Chain A
């Protein structure tokens, strides 16, 4: 059974800090890994997608890495801002239908 674990469950940082969110997965047959942002009561916004053949992806202040051998992905957020406060979810895509298996998320609070 595919399992995705996210650590920490919650994180509170002062504005301007760089931070790292962690995601681990058990299925080595991963096809891709997506990072999402979810605001309270809202749907999912895709942040970054890393193919299994890639090591990292970057978008603005965000950088996501993927290490298949260790079953880990990290999301690095540079110079955090209060507007970054949200829940961040990672999801492993795999299987014949590329369905996503999600972690429980990390609740990030960036304090002004």
Chain B
């Protein structure tokens, strides 16, 4: 399977715990995005990486959130001291810079439930 993969697919945690999600983009894609989707809403942009550099962060990304892409390949999104409002689907997408359409390809998402 050469698509975008995310792990875990589901995560249930208690309020106050830290969680970390992983995204593996399509291998040759050097651009990577994180989005968050709450129930009944469309996904909202969180952050963007060009290779290992984090070039843009949304105001939605509070200080409790941190994202990394250490070697320009996979990326992690960590949420510290989780709150019930963090419950959402976290989606990762990747694209090939300079590709003909700059199309983004999405992974299956990680569904986070904070109790």
B-binding residues in A (CB < 8 A): 4, 31-32, 34, 36, 41-46, 49, 51, 89, 91, 93, 97-105
Choice from B40, B56, B102, B108 contacting A43 with Cβ under 8 Å: B108
Contact B43 A97 (CB under 8 A): no
Contact A100 B95 (CB under 8 A): no
Contact B101 A46 (CB under 8 A): no
**Shortest beta-carbon distance, A54 to chain B, in Å?**
10
For the complex, would chain B's binding face be called helix, strand, loop or mixed by DSSP majority?
Answer: strand
Contact A105 B102 (CB under 8 A): no
Contact A46 B43 (CB under 8 A): no
Q: Check: B109 CB closer than 8 A to any chain A CB.
A: yes
A-binding residues in B (CB < 8 A): 6, 31, 33, 35, 40-45, 48, 50, 55-56, 91, 93, 95, 101-109, 111
Contact A103 B95 (CB under 8 A): no
Instruction: Given A32-B102, A46-B106, check contact A99 B42 (CB 8 Å).
Output: no
B6 to chain A: which residues have CB within 8 Å? 43
A89 to chain B: which residues have CB within 8 Å? 42-43
**Shortest beta-carbon distance, B88 to chain A, in Å?**
12
Contact B42 A46 (CB under 8 A): no
Instruction: Given A44-B91, A98-B95, check contact A34 B104 (CB 8 Å).
Output: yes
Name the CB-closest residue of B to A50: B101
Contact B102 A93 (CB under 8 A): yes
Choice from A32, A41, A42, A102 contacting B43 with Cβ under 8 Å: A102
Name the CB-closest residue of A to B55: A97
